Amino acid sequence: MPIHPPKGFALISVLIFLHIFSMLALFGLSSAALALKNTHHAWLHDKNLRLAKQILTELETEATQHLPACVISSLSTTKFIAKSKTWWQLTGCQGEQEGMRYFYVLESLGPDACAVIPGTQFQADYYRITILCYPANFVGTKIMLQATLIRPKILRSHCTALAHPVKIGEQMQRQLR
């Protein structure tokens, strides 16, 4: 008498392999969806960062012409990072541009008698501008940027060291985290 394998074995094997392949496909789709989501968040952050830098550049240009009302005494970077949104609303100047709400303050860092603006009788007066940006719809994270800039100031004191030329406007820019 011939021996026959059980008749349900092939069906169960096929169902198990189908289940395994379905799980692998589901895992692949989940990974692809997560990668797409991460890419979207990175793109959104880059877009918001570019807009925040553009706003900062415009504010720097305005600040070299005239000082806004939100000039404060100097604070450390860690204190700026720790400040609440309420502090920014009460203390800083604010605005909105292309769906980005921003708050900013200027700090006077003082003049440098040895930093001379070439071709003028002005010395450098240093300021630091700090800006906090939020997307108006709160999609994305806050962005905090800081820049140092030079405004011209009438020469009042004499340089006791070697004079060096500087340019008006932005000197450096950084992102605070």
Per the DSSP assignment, residues forming a β-bridge with 72 are 107
**Number of domains, the chain:** 1
CA dist., res. 94 & res. 116, Å (int): 32
Residue 150 falls inside a structural domain:
yes
Residue 3 falls inside a structural domain:
no
Residue 27 falls inside a structural domain:
yes
Q: What average pLDDT values come out for the chain (177 residues) when binned by 10 residues?
A: 69 88 92 92 89 94 90 90 90 91 93 87 91 79 92 82 88 89
Nearest in space to 148 (alpha carbons), one of 51, 63, 55, 49: 63
Residue 70 falls inside a structural domain:
yes
Which alpha helices (DSSP H) does the chain contain, by range? 9-65, 77-82, 85-91
Contact 144, 137 (CB under 8 A): no
Residue 98 falls inside a structural domain:
yes
Residue 100 falls inside a structural domain:
yes
CA dist., res. 35 & res. 113, Å (int): 54
Taking residue 169's Cβ as centre, other Cβ atoms within 10 Å add up to 14
In which residue are the tokens 């108006």 written? 136
What pLDDT is recorded for position 5?
A: 62
What pLDDT is recorded for position 1?
A: 60
Residue 71 falls inside a structural domain:
yes
Give the CA angle between residues 160, 126, 80 to the nearest 5°.
Answer: 135
Residue 42 falls inside a structural domain:
yes
In which residue are the tokens 């094997």 written? 13
Q: What is the domain range of residue 97?
A: 10-176
Nearest in space to 140 (alpha carbons), one of 50, 51, 45: 45
What pLDDT is recorded for position 138?
A: 64
